[in-house]
C-alpha cells in the first residue's frame, strides 16, 4: 500500500478539481450562454440549436460546446485542475445573473410594456426553490413597499412579500418552472388588496404580470399589451364592403401613421422584396385553394428590411369564395436575425473543425516521424523491451507521450518514458525536442539524475518562448553485467515492478516536473533486477480515466500485470501488451515493458503479434 500511496501522491496534483461530468455540464451551459449572447437569441433557442448541431454532426455534446467556447475566444476549463467557468442559467435551476445579454434584452422588452410585469429568476438552496429575484421589470411594476420599475432589480420577492413564500401560490410558481405550463393565480387578498397574477416560464425564470383589481385595465388595454409583448397585430379585410381594419400594433410594425389608415393591398405588396415574390405568389395560390396561409416574407419599411410573418384565413361562401379575410401580422425580425447568426456560428464552427482536423493530421504525421513504434520486442543488452503506443480515443487528441530505448557506448542501456502536457502540434513538437535532446545528452553523461537536470533546463528555456509548457519523465540506465537499474523521475508516475507474483509501484526518488523549477535537482534510485522480474513504465493515460478513480485505474493495471505473469510466466511481455490495449478517450498512453533476459530467453515476436 505504501507504493500505491506514493503513486497517488505523485499524480494527485494533476487530477481535475471536480468530476468530469460536472465540468462537461458547465461547458454546455457556458456554450449555450455564449451562443445566446453573441447571436442575441433566447437561451432555449441557443440550447436547441446546440443539440441540433450535435445530432447533425454525430459528435459528443461536450465537444461541440467546447468548439463554441473556443470560437468565441473564451478559455475552457483546464483538464489539469483549473476551476471551470461559472454555470450559466439553466431552466429552473440557476441564480440570476444580470450581466447576461439575454437579461438586457428582456429589460428592453419590458421597458415598452404597459402594466405591471417582471422577469424573476429562481434562487435555489440544495436544488429547492427558496425565493425569486427580480431581473427585469416594467416601468409600472410596483410592490407593496413602494419600490417600482428598475429599482426592483436585484431584490427578492421575499424581501417585499415574505408571506408569498409560504402561500399556496408559491407551489403554483414552482409547477410553472418545472412544467413550463403557464398559470393564473387569483384573485387573492394581499395587504388588503385583491390581485391576480399570471406566470409564464421564459428562459430560466418566470415572467409574472399582476393586476390590482381596483386599477385593472380594460379589455382593450390587455389586448394592446398582448400585441406589444408578441410584437404582433391583427387585421381584417371585408371583401363585400371593402373596409380594411388594422390594430394599433400593425401600424407600429409598418411604421405608419394611423391617421393615414391601413395600406392598400398594392401598397403592402410593393414593400415585399423582389426575391420573395415567388414565395408570396405560392402563398396566394394556397389561399385561393382554401388553405390557411402561414408565410414569412421580407419587407422594406422606411429603408429597413423586416421579416414579417403573416397568418391569414377567410370566411367563405358556399362556393368557397372569400367574403372576409382576417389574420395576424407578426414582426419576427429578431428571431430571423438570431437564426442567421446561429447559422453563421455553425459555419464558423465547421471551419474550426476543418482547421483542427488539419492540425491533428499534421501532429499525427509529426509524431509518427519522430516516434517510430517497433513491430516487435527490442533486444538490448540483458533486456527484452516491448513498446506500445495507444493514441487518445478522441479525434484531435494527438499528444506528447514518448519513449526512448537504446544501447549506450559503454554497453549499458538507456530507457526513458515521458509525457508533455497538452495535445496537438505544440505538444508533439516539444516531445520531439525532449527526445532528441536526451539522445544527444546521453553522449556526455549516463547518469539519469543529470540527464533530467539538463532536460529540465531545456524545458524552462522552451517555456520562455512558449509559456505553460510542462512535462514529466522517467530516465533509467541499466547495467547488464550486474542487472542493476539506476533511475530518476521528474513528476512522473512510478514504474510497476512484478516480482514473485506480486506487482507494486516502486518508491519514487524526489524530483519535480520538468519546466517548473529552473535549478531543480533529481535524485536517483537503484534496483537490482532478477530473472523473472517484469518492469512496466508508462504515462498517466494508462491509469487516469474520466469514468473511474485513480485507485481503480491503478488496480486494473496491477491486475493485468499479475494475470499476464500467471498466464505466461516464462514470456509475459506479449501477454501483457495484449491486455493493455484499450485506449483512453482523454489522453495518449505510452507503455514500455522491460524484462531481464539470459542467453536462453526465447524470441518473443510471435507473442507480440497478438494485438
Binned average pLDDT, 10 residues per bin, the chain of 611 residues: 46 44 67 65 67 73 74 42 33 40 72 80 81 86 76 82 79 85 82 80 83 58 54 79 83 85 85 85 84 86 87 82 84 75 71 62 55 74 88 58 89 92 72 84 90 91 75 94 94 91 92 88 95 90 72 84 81 74 67 82 41 36
End position of a domain, from candidates 170, 199, 224:
224
Give the end of a domain, one of 224, 250, 277. Answer: 224
Domain harbouring 419, CATH code: 3.60.40.10
48 domain-assigned: yes
Burial 551-586 (b: 16+ CB within 10 A, else e): eebbebbbebbeebbeebeebbbbbbbbbbeeebeb
Same domain, 346 and 489: no
Spatial contact of 386 and 574, defined as CB atoms under 8 Å apart: yes
CATH number at residue 313: 3.30.450.20
Is residue 174 domain-shared with residue 317, that is, in the same domain?
A: no
Residues 286 and 377 grouped into a single domain = no
Residue 512 CA, distance from chain mean position: 32
What is the pLDDT, as a whole number, of residue 222?
52
In a shared domain, residues 299 and 278: yes
Per-residue pLDDT tens digits for 228-242? 555 678 788 888 778
Indicate if 303 and 350 belong to the same structural domain. no
Q: Looking at the structure, tell me whether residues 130 and 249 fall in a common domain.
A: no
Based on the fold, state whether residues 499 and 391 are members of the same structural domain.
yes
Residue 365 within a domain: no
Instruction: Answer whether 29's CB lies under 8 Å from 85's CB.
Output: no
Same domain, 291 and 345: no
Phi-psi region of 115 (alpha: psi -120 to 50; beta: other; left: phi over 0): left
User: Which residues is 400 bridged to in the sheet?
Assistant: 420
Does an H or E element contain 563, and which?
helix 550-567
Do 498 and 440 belong to one domain? yes
Residue 370 has a pLDDT of: 57
Does the predicted model carry a pTM greater than 0.75? no
Same domain for 598 and 463: yes
The β-bridge partners of 489 are 474
Concatenated DSSP letters for 423-470?
Answer: ESHHHHHHHHHHHHHHHHHTTT---HHHHHHHHHHHHHHHHHHSSS--
Question: What pLDDT, in 10s, does the model give residues 131-169?
Answer: 888 888 888 788 876 677 887 888 888 888 777 777 788
Helices within 231-380 (DSSP H only): 248-253, 265-271, 277-288, 333-370
CA 429/CA 419 separation, integer angstroms: 12
**532 within a domain of the structure (yes/no):** yes
Q: Do residue 63 and residue 109 come from a single domain?
A: no
Give the pLDDT confidence score for residue 8 in this predicted structure.
44
Domain total of the chain: 4
State which residues form the domain around 189: 101-224
What gap in Å lies between CA 367 and CA 363, rounded to an integer?
6
342 and 278 share one domain: no
Amino acid at each position: 500500500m505504501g507504493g500505491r500511496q506514493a503513486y497517488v501522491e505523485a499524480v494527485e496534483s494533476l487530477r481535475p478539481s471536480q468530476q468530469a461530468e460536472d465540468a462537461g455540464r458547465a461547458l454546455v451551459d457556458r456554450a449555450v450562454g455564449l451562443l445566446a449572447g453573441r447571436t442575441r437569441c433566447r437561451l432555449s433557442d441557443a440550447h436547441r440549436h446546440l443539440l441540433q448541431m450535435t445530432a447533425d454532426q454525430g459528435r459528443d455534446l461536450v465537444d461541440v460546446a467546447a468548439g463554441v467556447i473556443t470560437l468565441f475566444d473564451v478559455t475552457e476549463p483546464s483538464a489539469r485542475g483549473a476551476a471551470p467557468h461559472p454555470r450559466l442559467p439553466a431552466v429552473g435551476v440557476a441564480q440570476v445573473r444580470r450581466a447576461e445579454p439575454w437579461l438586457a434584452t428582456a429589460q428592453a422588452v419590458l421597458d415598452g410594456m404597459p402594466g405591471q410585469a417582471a422577469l424573476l429568476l429562481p434562487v435555489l438552496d440544495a436544488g429547492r426553490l427558496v425565493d425569486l429575484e427580480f431581473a427585469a421589470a416594467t416601468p409600472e411594476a410596483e410592490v407593496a413597499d413602494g419600490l417600482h420599475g428598475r429599482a426592483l432589480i436585484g431584490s427578492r420577492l421575499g424581501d417585499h412579500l415574505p408571506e408569498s413564500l409560504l402561500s399556496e401560490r408559491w407551489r403554483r410558481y414552482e409547477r410553472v418552472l418545472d412544467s413550463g405550463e403557464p398559470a393564473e393565480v387569483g384573485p387573492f387578498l394581499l395587504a388588503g388588496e385583491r390581485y391576480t397574477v399570471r406566470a409564464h416560464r421564459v428562459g430560466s425564470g418566470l415572467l409574472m404580470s399582476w393586476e390590482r383589481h381596483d386599477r385593472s385595465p380594460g379589455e382593450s388595454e390587455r389586448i394592446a399589451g398582448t400585441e406589444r409583448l408578441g410584437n404582433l397585430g391583427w387585421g381584417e379585410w371585408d371583401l363585400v364592403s371593402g373596409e380594411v381594419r388594422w390594430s394599433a400594433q400593425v401600424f407600429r410594425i409598418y411604421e405608419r401613421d394611423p391617421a393615414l389608415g391601413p395600406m392598400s393591398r398594392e401598397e403592402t405588396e410593393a414593400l415585399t422584396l423582389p426575391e420573395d415574390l415567388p414565395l408570396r405568389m405560392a402563398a396566394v395560390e394556397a389561399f385561393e385553394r382554401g388553405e390557411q396561409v402561414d408565410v414569412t416574407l421580407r419587407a422594406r419599411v422606411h429603408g429597413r428590411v423586416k421579416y414579417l410573418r403573416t397568418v391569414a384565413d377567410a370566411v367563405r361562401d358556399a362556393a368557397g369564395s372569400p367574403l372576409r379575410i382576417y389574420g395576424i401580422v407578426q414582426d419576427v425580425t429578431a428571431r430571423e436575425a438570431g437564426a442567421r447568426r446561429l447559422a453563421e456560428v455553425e459555419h464558423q464552427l465547421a471551419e474550426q473543425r476543418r482547421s483542427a482536423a488539419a492540425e491533428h493530421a499534421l501532429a499525427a504525421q509529426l509524431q509518427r516521424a519522430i516516434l517510430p513504434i517497433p513491430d516487435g520486442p527490442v533486444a538490448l543488452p540483458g533486456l527484452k523491451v516491448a513498446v506500445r503506443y495507444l493514441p487518445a480515443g478522441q479525434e484531435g487528441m494527438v499528444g506528447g507521450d514518448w519513449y526512448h530505448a537504446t544501447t549506450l557506448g559503454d554497453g549499458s542501456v538507456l530507457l526513458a518514458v515521458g509525457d508533455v502536457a497538452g495535445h496537438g502540434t505544440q505538444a508533439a513538437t516539444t516531445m520531439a525536442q525532449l527526445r532528441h535532446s536526451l539522445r544527444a545528452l546521453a553522449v556526455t553523461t549516463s547518469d539519469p539524475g543529470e540527464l533530467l537536470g539538463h532536460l529540465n533546463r531545456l524545458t524552462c528555456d522552451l517555456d520562455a518562448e512558449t509559456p505553460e509548457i510542462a512535462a514529466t519523465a522517467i530516465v533509467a540506465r541499466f547495467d547488464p553485467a550486474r542487472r542493476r537499474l539506476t533511475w530518476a523521475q521528474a513528476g512522473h508516475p512510478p514504474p510497476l515492478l512484478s516480482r514473485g507474483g506480486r506487482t507494486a509501484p516502486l518508491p519514487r526518488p524526489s524530483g519535480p516536473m520538468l519546466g517548473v523549477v529552473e535549478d531543480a535537482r533529481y535524485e536517483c534510485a537503484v534496483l537490482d533486477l532478477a530473472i523473472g522480474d517484469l518492469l512496466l513504465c508508462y504515462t498517466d493515460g494508462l491509469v487516469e480515466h474520466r469514468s473511474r478513480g485513480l485507485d481503480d485505474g491503478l488496480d486494473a493495471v496491477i491486475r493485468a500485470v499479475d494475470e499476464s505473469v500467471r498466464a505466461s510466466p516464462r514470456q509475459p511481455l506479449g501477454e501483457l501488451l495484449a491486455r493493455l490495449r484499450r485506449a483512453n478517450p482523454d489522453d495518449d498512453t505510452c507503455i514500455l515493458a522491460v524484462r531481464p533476459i539470459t542467453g536462453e530467453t526465447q524470441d518473443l515476436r510471435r507473442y507480440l503479434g497478438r494485438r
